[in-house]
Structure 1
Amino acid sequence: MKLPSNRLFFIFIALTGSVIAVLGIVLGQLFPFLMEKIFLTNHIPFTEEQIDELKIQFAFVLALLLLIAFLLIAYIGNRLIQELLNPIENVTQTARELIKGNYLARSYANGPATILELRKSINILARNLQEIEKMREIEEERLKTLIENMGSALIMIDREGTVSIANALFLEEFHLTFLEVEGRNFLSLGLPRELEKFIDQVFLTELPYRKQIEMEINNEKIYKQVYGAPVVGEHGRWLGIVIVVHDITELIRLEQIRKDFVANVSHELRTPITSIKGFSETLLDGAYRDEKMLLSFLEIIYQESNRLQVLIQDLLELSKIEQHGFKVQLEPTSLKDVLIRAVEVTSPKMDEKNMEFDVDIQRDIKVFGDKNRLIQIFTNLITNSITYSPPHTVITLRIKEDGDHGIVEVEDEGIGIEKSEIPRIFERFYRVDKARSRNSGGTGLGLAIVKHLVEAHRGKIEVESTVGKGTCMRVKIPLYREN
């Protein structure tokens, strides 16, 4: 017989054994007295040896009866405990699993009506908890999806200043990982000082706060519209704050470009128009009678009209490129042929300054591009290198490739570009050396056109420059692959 391991069973057996043992002792003590009474009353002639033998037999029978009684009681007790305690143990184990969070656990106990009612209640509780857990998981997934796809960077900070939530956009904008922010104080994340001050302000006031701040990340100025608000739970309990960061750098940049465009176009158009008008009035006032002065003024008017024409052409070209739906005619194109043609176009300007080309082409590379637009790109870059380089210097042209792009480098020995100016050189009308570019007839639109054309090819343009030593323009165009 398999005995249960329940403590109550052993207590029951111990008590039963004790009662039987006491009963045996009492009977053992009463047996001689009873035998003596029986023998004396009935005048039975038993010898002392026979009486001792009867005592032994009686003791054996008594012990056997007590043992049988003990085993019978143990068996009955075991059955009773199995019927009563095992179902309760089963329900208790199910409750423990529910406490651990295992809401799939169910009780299968059988027994009296009260135990069946308890089993039913536990199973209903388990099903309800399972439904609540499912709803919580669904709501949590919805909240996570909303936070990750809201289009703005978000961070939630608890009362102690520890980060509890940070979405992927926040981590990406500030070059962090989830492991770096999880459970850490926001002051230890290396956030821009302006953002830390904003968060401190929300903590101090415990009121909603909105501000436009300017930050510098990786030597680049960016603008953020930041909104902060306290998070209040049930019964008005203050839980922490939530910060939403919206990037408005592009809006600020576009607004600045719009302002610069209006100002620069007005200025660029005013200069040649003023010259043409001034010299025309001078000629009309009688200067045309002097043939030498007439030819000089007409030459100036012609140059200024050419400058005006180039400016208008560049504006029309830039407008065309920036139009929605502008596409280049992509086809397999040899970078070597493109570069040779660009060199032929710019050679006259090279000769004027006694400059030379140093061509480093180990092998031809085919890219997926528009040949005419690529020639336009490299002609413009080489022209800029000539313009901003002193005479008797060298312009180096290289063709190489990486895993996905064909690369052309145009490197000069010119004046170079300040590190702070590099992000702006592709803006319209921006000039590194305004006097030199105007004297050379530049409009300040060339690099803006180059950038748009490179992006239309799904390529990249990179700039490396050292002031006084020169500049390297690196253009990457996707490689042509036959498959």
Structure 2
Amino acid sequence: MWRSIRLKFVVIYLLLMLFTLQLIGAYFVRTLNASLVRDEVRGVQKQVSLLAAIVKPELTSGGGRSGDKPGDASLLSVFPQPQGGAIYLLNSKGVVEDTSAGSALIGQKRIDSVATQALVGHKSVSAVRYDPSADQHLLAVAMPLFQGDRFIGILEDVVSIQSTYSTMRQVTTIFYTGSALVLAFTALLGIGLSRTISRPILDVTRQTARMAKGDFSRRVQVVSDDELGQLGHAVNDLADKLQTALSENLRERERLRAIITYMGDGVLTFDRDLRPVYANEAALRCLPRGAEDFSRAGRLLGVQRESLAPAQEEWNWVRELDGALLHVHLTAIQREADTDGYVAVIRDVTEQERLYQKQREFVANVSHELRTPLTSIKSYLEALGESGDLDEQTRRTFLDVCRQEADRMVRITQDLLQLSGLETQGIRYVEGWVDAEEWLTAACQRLEMQARRQGVALDLRPVPQLRFRGDKDLLDRVLDNVIGNAIKYTAAGGQVRVSAECERDKLRVCVEDTGIGIPESDLPHVFERFYRVDKARSRRSGGTGLGLTLAREIIDLHGGRIGIESKLGQGTKVWLVLPLTEGEPA
């Protein structure tokens, strides 16, 4: 209840008003009372001065007193007095010489405090006292009487001023009654004013509470231009800016979450005790059992306290997990010089390592393929240079070997350049219409002489009448490699059969031979660079080991597929599929 600013404001306002009214009332009553009493004292003093001139002869006549003789009346007894009042004439010793209070008091010594002070001090004294027996307030005024310079007595007049106090009581009652009414009106006014002041504050309070809960849909209603209005404007402006900032922050968080969730690299966060906190889909895919291994991801990836150097903030290592090579980059999250957690970025480098291995093998193969003819050329040239007595036939034989080895290096270089151009799209692709029958017939005619020398029958089956889009020169290279290999690895008396058929919107070409075949373990590798099944025979026949690799790149460039099927000792079948142009008539 006392937490309400409205109640506090009203109570403080009322207390201030009450204190003000009490202060004003006390000052007013006290000032009015002193003024009224002062007026009464002045009136009585005037009356005493007048009586002093009348009764002074009684003290200067040698002590005789009026009324000593029978039938004589006292001068003061016949003087009119208000109710409760009395006049006393005292000599210099304080003995009553005359009084209006009754002859019984004449001759007695008066011990009244006012009279005593006047007798002792020889000066006028006035005082107000309360008479309990009469229940009224009395004003006593004593004035000294002198005969020349000689003090002869005093004249004391006691007057009732109860009417003055009754008037003061009525005035006080009226004042405090009015003060109570004013206080009540002030309370009502304070309640209304407090509502006017506290309503904007309550609106601001409710608005800030909504803002704390994330609700920025409402605004403070501003009805004035004072400080409270400025506060309302400030809160509304703060709500707008907070809403904008939080919306932007939320968008950034969602964008960051989306990036982390769908990025190719795995992201795994740990707390300061290296307990897993969050992992994206890529990180879970790196674990052997996915989400089931989340709780032990740190142990599986090698994230352990003893392996982290305390002076570092970043760590890198490669870990083999379930047959995959994972590169782990761990970073510490620092907050005010303390480590608040860790973030691990996980990248599967298995394929990258495989490519690196292939590159190393490729360099080794190129070096080996070039070293063999270079070694032969160097040996024969050294023999020619050192032996000056060689006959012309031997010299010509050595030079033929050098020329053959040089031609072999040229073929290897050309095949490598053509393969590199296909992979980097550096070879110009000239697309045109290719007639399937003419294409296959021309290829068989080019290789007919090689087949006859080898003693192999080259048979071309009927080809459907159709055309397709492609680069004829590159496609000729494919057939030369595939059909040439079939003839090369088929013994005399064998057969090579070339056929083609249309399968929906594709042309399927097959080259089958009855040659030596390929072992099953070598089939997955025949399209790799420099790979040979019969390495000795390939080198003797001038092969570079790049023919099928080039054929695959050319077929891929045309949007087709190439494959091989073989059984050792029973022959090999190579097939290629090329897409036909939609809508082109056969």
Common fold by TM > 0.5: yes
How many residue pairs end up in the alignment? 374
Shift of the alpha carbon at 1:471?
A: 5.0
The residue that corresponds to 1:131 in the other structure is: 244
- Residue number in structure 2 paired with 1:155: 267
1:320: how far off? Answer: 5.3
Where does residue 164 of structure 1 map in the other structure? Answer: 279
Q: How far is 1:302 from its partner?
A: 4.2
CA-CA distance at 1:232 after TM superposition: 1.8
- 3-state SS in 2 of match to 1:242: strand
Task: Report the CA distance shift for 1:358/1:148 in structure 2 as closer, same or farther (over 3 A).
Answer: farther
How far apart are the structure 2 equivalents of 1:232 and 1:383? 63
What's the counterpart of residue 342 of structure 1?
443
SS at match of 2:302: helix
Amino acid at match of 2:244: E
Deviation digits for residues 354-400 of structure 1 (CA, Å, limit 9, x no counterpart): 35547485553402x22122101111122223334556355454454
Aligned to 2:420: 322
Selected match of 2:403 from 286, 290, 305: 305
Alpha carbon RMSD of aligned pairs, Å?
5.2
Q: Which letter does structure 2 place at the counterpart of 1:106?
A: R
User: Which of these residues, 356, 362, 387, is aligned with residue 257 of structure 1?
Assistant: 362
Distance 1:188 1:206, change over 3 A: closer
Q: 1:205 to 1:304 in 2, by over 3 A?
A: same
User: Which letter maps to 2:246?
Assistant: E
Q: CA-to-partner distance for each residue in 1:138-157, whole Å, 9 max, x for gaps?
A: 6447757986999x734234
State whether residues 451 and 461 of structure 1, in contact with CA within 8 Å, keep that contact through their aligned partners in structure 2.
yes
Q: Choose from 186, 193, 200 the match for 2:302.
A: 200
Structure 1's 343 and 135: CA in aligned 2 closer, same or farther, altered over 3 A?
A: same
Residue type at the aligned position of 2:315: Y
Q: Counterpart in 2 of 1:364?
A: 466
Q: CA deviation at 1:91?
A: 6.3
> CA distance change for structure 1 residues 105 and 261 in 2, over 3 Å: closer, same or farther?
farther
| Of 354, 357, 372, the match for 1:267 | 372
**Partner AA of 2:374 in structure 1:** L
- Residue 531 of structure 2 aligns to a residue in which SS? coil
Determine the structure 1 residue equivalent to 2:161. none
Structure 1, residues 56-81: CA drift from partner, whole Å, max 9, x if none? xxxxxxxxxxxxxxxxxxxxxxx99x
Which of 211, 219, 242 pairs up with 1:106? Answer: 219
- Give the aligned partner of residue 531 of structure 2: 430
**Following superposition of structure 1 onto structure 2, how do residues 57-456 of structure 1 map, counting pairs within 5 Å?**
94=207, 98-99=211-212, 101-108=214-221, 120=233, 122-137=235-250, 139-140=252-253, 143=256, 153-159=265-271, 160-161=275-276, 163-165=278-280, 185-186=293-294, 199-201=301-303, 205-206=307-308, 208-211=314-317, 226-235=327-336, 236-245=338-347, 247=352, 249-271=354-376, 274=379, 285=389, 302=400, 305-306=403-404, 308-319=406-417, 322=420, 325-351=426-452, 352-357=454-459, 359=461, 361-362=463-464, 364-367=466-469, 369-389=470-490, 392=494, 394-395=496-497, 397-400=499-502, 408-412=509-513, 414-416=516-518, 418=520, 422-423=524-525, 425-427=527-529, 429-454=530-555
Question: What are the Cα deviations for residues 227-277 of structure 1, in whole angstroms up to 9, with x where unaligned?
Answer: 411342535344343224364654553344223312320113324664687
Work out the CA distance in 2 between the residues paired with 1:407 and 1:215. 42
Residues in 1 aligned to 2:522 and 2:550: alpha-carbon distance in whole angstroms: 21
1:283 to 1:342, Cα distance in 2 relative to 1, 3 A? farther
- Under a length normalisation based on structure 2, what TM-score does the superposition of the two structures give? 0.49
> Residue 157 of structure 1 contacts residue 165 of structure 1 at CA under 8 Å; is this kept in 2?
no
C-alpha spacing 1:166/1:175, structure 2 compared with 1 (3 Å): closer
**Aligned equivalents of 1:144, 1:307: Cα separation in 2:** 60
| Structure holding more helix per residue | 1
Distance 1:385 1:237 in 2: 67
* Cα 1:420/1:157, change in 2 over 3 Å: farther
Q: Give TM-score scaled by structure 1 length.
A: 0.58
SS at match of 1:333: strand
CA contact (8 A) 2:419 2:550 kept: yes
Question: What's the CA shift string for 1:79-103, capped at 9, x where partnerless?
Answer: 99x9999988976775565455444
1:322–1:452 CA contact under 8 A, matched in 2: no
Match of 1:72 in 2: none
- Deviation of 1:331 (Å): 1.6
Q: Matches of 1:303 and 1:130 in 2, distance apart?
A: 84
Unaligned runs of 5+ in 1: 1-78, 190-195, 289-293
Q: Please give the alpha-carbon distance, in whole angstroms, between the structure 1 residues aligned to 2:269 and 2:523.
A: 37
* CA distance in structure 2 between the aligned counterparts of 1:187 and 1:419, rounded to whole angstroms: 41
Tell me: CA distance 1:358–1:312, structure 2 relative to 1, closer, same or farther (3 Å).
same
AA in 2 matched with 1:210:
N
Identify if the C-alpha distance between structure 1 residues 260 and 321 changes in structure 2 by more than 3 Å, giving closer, same or farther: closer
Q: 1:240 to 1:185 in 2, by over 3 A?
A: farther
Contact 1:396 1:411 in 2 (8 A): yes
Post-superposition CA distance 1:439-459 (Å, at most 9, x none): 32312232344345445x354
SS in 1 for 2:301: helix
Q: Secondary structure at the match of 1:346?
A: helix
Cα distance change, pair 166–118 in 1 and its aligned pair in 2 (3 A): farther
Indicate if the aligned counterparts of 1:332 and 1:480 stay in contact, CA closer than 8 A.
no
| SS of alignment partner, residue 276 of structure 2 | coil
Once the two structures are superposed, what CA deviation does each residue of 1:95-116 show, in whole Å capped at 9, x if it has no partner?
5654554444434486998986
| Identity fraction in percent | 18
Using CA pairs under 8 Å that are at least 6 residues apart, name the structure with larger relative contact order, 1 or 2. 1
Contact 1:230 1:238 (8 Å CA) reproduced = no
Q: Pick the structure with greater CA Rg.
A: 2
Q: Aligned with 1:305: secondary structure?
A: helix
Q: Measure, in 2, the Cα distance between the counterparts of 1:470 and 1:102.
A: 78
